[in-house]
Structure 1
Amino acid sequence: MTLEISSALVKELRQKTGAGMMNCKKALQETNGNFEEAIKTLRQKGLASADKKVLRRASEGLVNSYIHTGGKIGVLVEVNCETDFVARREEFQELVKNIAMQIAASPEVIYISTDDIPQEIFIAEKEIELKKDDLTNKPIEIKEKIILGRVEKTLKTLSLLNQPFIRDLNITVEELIKEKISLFGENIKIKRFTRYILGN
């Protein structure tokens, strides 16, 4: 017997995830009405289909700005999608605005992805970790693993895609983008951004 799901619950799940009404209803039925499990199910399915779309060319989109309260921090960001139709959608515009706010709220972020970080920074961070006293008596293999783990953690703080999303700390910006790729059926990419700080 199929579990009867209220339309209010389906609507709430749709607002939370951006997935289609039928997908939301199906996810709730599959998880016996468990809201959190339904979110996980939709994310897993969304991320799987989104991964196939990330290779497609995205040359439409929006440039948007965000000025933080008090006018001391400003952000310009370009986010690309595949068609003008998606670029005009309210959900896409909201996504671009949220990304601009994320950049304003993440002062350490310099790069879009860890892939964009120059090799020199990786080497410099490795050198810093090598000189730390707490690693002195550790065996070489263990020392190497610890150093790589620490460097990776540091580099993630510089990457926008690795940041917890300010409006939902359970997902990263990368997972947010993949959710929207699944929602729109198009590739979405953060192309570039500039952060302005008053006096700098």
Structure 2
Amino acid sequence: MAITSKMVKDLRDKTQAGMMDCKKALEKTGGDMEKAVDLLRQKGLAVAAKRAGRATSEGVIETYIHAGGKLGVMVELGCETDFVAKNDAFREFARDIAMHIAAASPVAITREEVPEEIVAREKDIYVQQALDSGKPEAIVEKMVTGKIEKYLAEVALLEQKFVKNPDLSIQDLLNELVGKMGENISIKRFARFQVGVAE
């Protein structure tokens, strides 16, 4: 199948990948747009894995203010070079992450960083709910483990579904950006402020 420039442009619009990468992906998949998108995402994953250990000492701090000034977020996004820190796609990603944090209110960046006391409190609630519903103790443990897994996926930023596109997690978006920029990028920290609410 002949790969047209319109097909390449459509794939580029969908993925923000480079023109040559889009053309190669379409050639490899015989012009199948969905398979080409998947191929480019896998390439992003591979690049992200290769670059994961590299230091991210450059970057930006981005803010998002919402709801008439009653809700705000600051996020620090790290990268390897000043060149990437000034890139529009990098800055747009930082803004999207700040906006996502405002909407989704994560507790931590990764599940490992969720404070132990919060996990313990949730576990106690789930155990009590299961026991109150009359479930046998052998089943309670399995139920609680499943609920804790689900809870961690909901409160860990990298595992949350992106509010603008629930098909992708924040980790998926980060991997795509790493693939596109060609260097390690990390969400270093964030703070969410809401008037009248102690975080």
Alignment of 1:49-198 (within 5 A): 49-107=47-105, 109-133=106-130, 136-138=134-136, 140=138, 142-198=139-195
Distance 1:138 1:20, change over 3 A: farther
Return the TM-score normalized by structure 1.
0.90
Q: 2:41 aligns with which of 37, 40, 43?
A: 43
TM-score normalised by structure 2 residue count: 0.90
Shift of 1:166: 2.2
Deviation at 1:124, TM superposition (A): 2.3
SS of equivalent residue, structure 2 residue 104: coil
Task: Give the distance between the partners of 1:37 and 1:76, measured in 2 at CA.
Answer: 36
> What one-letter code is carried by the residue in structure 2 that aligns with 1:90?
D
State the Cα distance separating 1:139 from its structure 2 match. Answer: 6.2
Runs of 4+ deviating beyond 4 Å: none
The structural deviation recorded for 1:8 is 2.0
Q: Secondary structure at the match of 1:105?
A: helix
Structure 1 residue ranges without an equivalent (≥5): none
Question: Which runs of no fewer than 5 residues in structure 2 stay unpaired?
Answer: none
Matched residue SS, 2:77:
strand
Give distance in 1, aligned partners of 2:6 and 2:70.
41
1: CA distance, partners of 2:192 / 2:34 = 35
Moved more, 189-198 or 24-33: 24-33
Structure 2 residue matching 1:199: 3-state secondary structure: coil
Distance in 2 between the 1:151 and 1:133 partners?
13
Distance 1:52 1:145 in 2: 36
- For residues 75 and 137 of structure 1, do their structure 2 counterparts lie closer, same or farther at Cα, with a shift above 3 Å needed? closer
Identity %: 45
Alpha-carbon distance between aligned partners in 1 of 2:85 and 2:55, rounded to the nearest angstrom = 14
Q: Give 1:112 shift.
A: 1.1
Instruction: State the shift of 1:68 in Å.
Output: 1.6
TM-align CA RMSD? 1.8
Displacement of 1:123: 2.3
